[in-house]
Structure 1
Amino acid sequence: MRLAILGCGTVGSEVVRLLHEQSADLAARIGAPLEIAGIAVRRLGRDRGDLPVAPELFTTDAVGLVKSDDVDVVVEVVGGIEPARSWLVDALRAGKSVVTANKALLAEDGASLHDAAADGGADLYYEAAVAGAIPLLRPLRESLHGDRINRVTGIVNGTTNFILSAMDATGAGFAEALEEATELGYAEADPTADVEGFDAAAKAAILASLAFHTRVGAADVHREGITEVTAADMASAKAMGCTIKLLCIAARGTDAAGRESVSVRVHPAMIPLSHPLASVGDAYNAVFVEAEAAGPLMFYGRGAGGAATASAVLGDVVAVCRNRLAGVRAPSESAYADLAVRPMGEALTRYHVSLDVADKPGVLAAVAGVFARHDVSIATVRQAPAGTEPAGRGADAVLVIVTHTAPDAALAATVEDLRGLDAVRSIASVLRVEGGE
């Protein structure tokens, strides 16, 4: 089986190394040896260490490599939208199987890839696109097809999980924790895609598409990052027996008209320490799947890194090569449900609101009245004197309110109205709360 490898960076070089080191085992598992037909790179002269491949296998002609009749499987680890999309569409339409780790492309325009795979009768596998080495997409795609998945909640970005875990453990602020993550190599020089939630949102779209048999794109995902999470937020979470994680949440439910639909969102949230995701630290990933018959399922492991991602890529390579040798194709995309994606305002969640308020009679009643006007029920209220809470220094008192579950639109409107109360000096913090109710 002849492979075209597009990209030879951190992941691509690990794929090449593992193909060499495990060649005998891979051949035995597939039923035929694997050979590299070529490796497309941007620059031929770049130092790639001691990769065990002949120099003549490297090429800058990705298009020619993809179109070569001597290629059975295309492995794409370049990333980005174009030219990767054009390469893969051409390969799939020509009947070549494709293995990709390109989460951004799948979330932005997975439909084009799936349609091309159907046209060419080819396999499209992408286990490495979400949660690195964790076997997650294949179970959603195949193992759980006899069940109904109602909710998927996950930590799918290692950089942000490292940052939030460091803030929780040390009391550091966001900037300090990000600096540490950068020094240790967990954060890129430009961490925007991670800390602003773009990476997690792309993965959330892929997970929702598989879980709910519905095409969900990145534009359908409500996205918020972690840059506004403070040390004071972490302290408040600890006081509640919680921690803060950047969560991707995909949930089945009904819309305002009572029709079945899905909600897909990415944002920081407080979760109780008893939640299975609360103990996921460092740069690890974990995804919690709730299915009707199977019940709760937890997938945990390394969600990034060259070797971990390459492991998932090679697992897909073995699968598609077996299919080609057997003359069969994997089940095609399952998007029959075609459910609508609910707007964020209809998502059901809870809020943790920290208010800097005047310490005088009637303040609590006025604040409670705002919640009541929006039909939002209060679960707990905690008041502390000024200075005893990090969020309340400079105020007369700090009022910390946690709500019961309500539509996000009602909760957001409540917070907006609170800003207009004379007794409210400022809204120090607003965070969603997930789990525990």
Structure 2
Amino acid sequence: MAADRKSAPLRIGLAGIGTVGAGVIEVLRENADIISKHCPRPILVTAVSARDRGRDRGIDLSGIAWVDDAAALAARDDVDVVVEVIGGSEGKAKEVVEKAIAAGKHVVTANKALLAHHGTALALAAEEAEVALAYEAAVAGGIPVIKAMREGLAANRITRVYGILNGTCNYILTQMRETGREFADVLEEAQKLGYAEADPSFDVDGIDAAHKLSILTSVAFGCAVDFAGVRISGIRNVSAMDIAYAEELGFRIKLLGLARQTPGGIEQRVHACMVPAASTIAKVDGVYNAVVTSGNFVGENIAIGRGAGRGPTASAVVADLMDIARDRILPAFSAPAATLARAVQAPVGQRVGSYYLRLMVVDKPGVIAEIAGVMRDENVSLESMIQRGRSPDEPVPLVFTTHETTEAAIARVAARLDEIKSVLEPAHLLPIETLE
């Protein structure tokens, strides 16, 4: 009987037939010959579920059972694996995954929000049920970063993982740099092109990247998934002026997700920051993602590719299905779920590094001296200053970069500068990540 099971088809119940779900069916069909060379078992979609049964998805669903309630896929005798590509951290997606695990079905998901909020509990349930919880598609789309960290880098102590984790933000920042346009204008274009949602908040406010970062942190450091521990800011306040000054100073602005081990604990943050223009990460443009890991023996590894979209995400889902077909079942977050304790988070304000600071000021004598006095009082040392032109009637920019200081100190500087009458706008502040 065991031999029969190992050669019998791996039967898939697909919850969600949107862009990714349809892509999964397409990959399984178009690349069936390639997949069969690597798998001892055929992989077949036997049942599907979606909200709109009549919608034309551009794929032939004949011969596949339709299930009105996606959660009912878990109870079907002709389903071995439930693939969840519905999305969302609660509601139907969570119900589908929980019921599948409880019914002893393997789960493959592309749902980063679900894993960011419930990943540790789901991993524990999956291990108790002796089923897989696989999610390569949830982070960085078609880039096999989870597999690389969990398997290829398993012998290393990871000290840092960071990257460009949201293609929408990367596209917007790239277009702003290349065209000189402002954020709102480029965002509108991205929405028309389908790179940004009608409500872009999850992307541009950093939440999507934070979901992915919290998962990467768990895999990298063997700790519980802690989305609440991620400090999050987005790109809404990045201006074309800041991007131009970054170029002049030898930097580019990127939205990075970054997790690193510090003396005070694990630091997790998503923020717009300046990175050296000569660095590899600075040259990753458009809708591409990149993930960099640093291990104590392997050194630095970087993976670059498409982080979203039908093909790349579906490819990652099918790769997880192929692992299950080979009976390769690993702990979801590299370490057994029962050992995933909540990590100590680095205290707020203790980041040490350089900063970019731009002020819009009244152009009159004494302004620079007043600003310098605030920085002196907070023990913040300047590395460079840019001041050009004079305009008594209009605000003019003053741009500074600092030597290394603490986040708490630069925050105090910004707060005090906002109280100076000659400073006409809140301080524009960006951390500089040297990536060394």
Same fold (TM over 0.5): yes
**Quick check: 1:339 aligned with 2:343?**
yes
Asked whether the 8 Å contact 2:134–2:332 carries over to 1, the reply is no
Asked whether the 8 Å contact 2:359–2:397 carries over to 1, the reply is yes
Asked whether the 8 Å contact 2:172–2:190 carries over to 1, the reply is yes
2:434 aligned residue: 435
Instruction: Indicate how the Cα distance of structure 1 residues 109 and 347 shifts in structure 2: closer, same or farther if over 3 A, else same.
Output: farther
2:407 aligned residue: 408
**Quick check: 1:385 aligned with 2:393?**
no
Distance 2:235 2:167 in 1: 13
1:246 shift after superposition: 0.9
Report SS of the residue matched to 2:349. helix
1:428 shift after superposition: 5.1
1:169 aligned residue: 178
1:79 shift after superposition: 0.6
Task: Pick the aligned partner of 1:263 from 242, 262, 267.
Answer: 267
Asked whether the 8 Å contact 2:182–2:239 carries over to 1, the reply is yes
1:22 shift after superposition: 2.1
1:203-254 CA-to-partner distances (Å, cap 9, x unmatched) read 1111111111111322211111111111111111122121111111111102
**Quick check: 1:40 aligned with 2:44?**
no
Distance 1:358 1:351 in 2: 22
Report SS of the residue matched to 1:385. coil
Could you tell me which amino acid in structure 1 is paired with residue 95 of structure 2? Answer: S
Asked whether the 8 Å contact 1:109–1:217 carries over to 2, the reply is no
Report SS of the residue matched to 1:42. coil
Could you tell me which amino acid in structure 2 is paired with residue 345 of structure 1? Answer: G
1:295 aligned residue: 299
Distance 1:373 1:214 in 2: 40
Task: Pick the aligned partner of 1:208 from 210, 214, 217.
Answer: 217
Asked whether the 8 Å contact 1:358–1:424 carries over to 2, the reply is yes
Asked whether the 8 Å contact 1:202–1:217 carries over to 2, the reply is no
Report SS of the residue matched to 1:330. coil
Asked whether the 8 Å contact 1:212–1:337 carries over to 2, the reply is no
Distance 2:146 2:81 in 1: 20
1:174-200 CA-to-partner distances (Å, cap 9, x unmatched) read 111112212222112221211111111
Report SS of the residue matched to 2:131. coil
Could you tell me which amino acid in structure 1 is paired with residue 412 of structure 2? Answer: A
Q: Which moved more, 1:230-239 or 1:19-28?
A: 19-28
Instruction: Indicate how the Cα distance of structure 1 residues 307 and 101 shifts in structure 2: closer, same or farther if over 3 A, else same.
Output: same
2:361 aligned residue: 357
Task: Pick the aligned partner of 1:61 from 69, 81, 85.
Answer: 69
2:84 aligned residue: 76
Asked whether the 8 Å contact 1:20–1:52 carries over to 2, the reply is no
Task: Pick the aligned partner of 1:144 from 153, 157, 176.
Answer: 153
Asked whether the 8 Å contact 1:89–1:112 carries over to 2, the reply is no
Task: Pick the aligned partner of 1:119 from 128, 132, 135.
Answer: 128
Instruction: Indicate how the Cα distance of structure 1 residues 393 and 230 shifts in structure 2: closer, same or farther if over 3 A, else same.
Output: farther
1:329 aligned residue: 329
Asked whether the 8 Å contact 2:224–2:340 carries over to 1, the reply is no
Instruction: Indicate how the Cα distance of structure 1 residues 386 and 234 shifts in structure 2: closer, same or farther if over 3 A, else same.
Output: farther
Asked whether the 8 Å contact 1:353–1:427 carries over to 2, the reply is no
1:22 aligned residue: 31
Distance 1:436 1:286 in 2: 14
Could you tell me which amino acid in structure 2 is paired with residue 114 of structure 1? Answer: A
Could you tell me which amino acid in structure 2 is paired with residue 212 of structure 1? Answer: F
1:356 shift after superposition: 2.8
**Quick check: 1:317 aligned with 2:321?**
yes
Asked whether the 8 Å contact 1:43–1:60 carries over to 2, the reply is no
1:347 shift after superposition: 2.7
Distance 2:376 2:260 in 1: 27
Could you tell me which amino acid in structure 1 is paired with residue 331 of structure 2? Answer: P
Task: Pick the aligned partner of 1:186 from 191, 195, 202.
Answer: 195
Q: Which moved more, 1:176-185 or 1:329-338?
A: 329-338
Asked whether the 8 Å contact 1:150–1:291 carries over to 2, the reply is yes
Asked whether the 8 Å contact 2:46–2:64 carries over to 1, the reply is no
1:7 shift after superposition: 0.5
How many aligned positions are there?
A: 422
Asked whether the 8 Å contact 2:73–2:82 carries over to 1, the reply is no
Could you tell me which amino acid in structure 2 is paired with residue 414 of structure 1? Answer: V
Runs of 4+ off more than 6 Å: none
The percentage of aligned residue pairs carrying the same residue is 41
Could you tell me which amino acid in structure 1 is paired with residue 329 of structure 2? Answer: R
1:394 aligned residue: 394
Distance 1:219 1:130 in 2: 18
1:348 shift after superposition: 3.0
Task: Pick the aligned partner of 1:274 from 278, 290, 315.
Answer: 278
Report SS of the residue matched to 1:85. helix
1:78 shift after superposition: 0.7
Task: Pick the aligned partner of 1:368 from 346, 365, 372.
Answer: 372
Instruction: Indicate how the Cα distance of structure 1 residues 221 and 154 shifts in structure 2: closer, same or farther if over 3 A, else same.
Output: same
**Quick check: 1:235 aligned with 2:254?**
no
TM-score with structure 1 length normalisation? 0.91
1:86 shift after superposition: 2.0
Report SS of the residue matched to 1:341. coil
1:116 shift after superposition: 1.0
1:301 shift after superposition: 0.6
Distance 2:348 2:174 in 1: 27
Distance 1:208 1:60 in 2: 36
Report SS of the residue matched to 1:345. coil
**RMSD, matched Cα:** 2.0
Distance 1:65 1:220 in 2: 34
Could you tell me which amino acid in structure 1 is paired with residue 286 of structure 2? Answer: D
Asked whether the 8 Å contact 2:161–2:259 carries over to 1, the reply is yes
Distance 1:436 1:126 in 2: 28
List alignment gaps of at least 5 residues for structure 1.
256-260
**Quick check: 1:219 aligned with 2:228?**
yes
**Quick check: 1:153 aligned with 2:162?**
yes
Distance 1:429 1:2 in 2: 54
Report SS of the residue matched to 2:289. strand
Asked whether the 8 Å contact 1:93–1:122 carries over to 2, the reply is no
Instruction: Indicate how the Cα distance of structure 1 residues 436 and 240 shifts in structure 2: closer, same or farther if over 3 A, else same.
Output: farther
Could you tell me which amino acid in structure 2 is paired with residue 372 of structure 1? Answer: R
Report SS of the residue matched to 1:248. strand
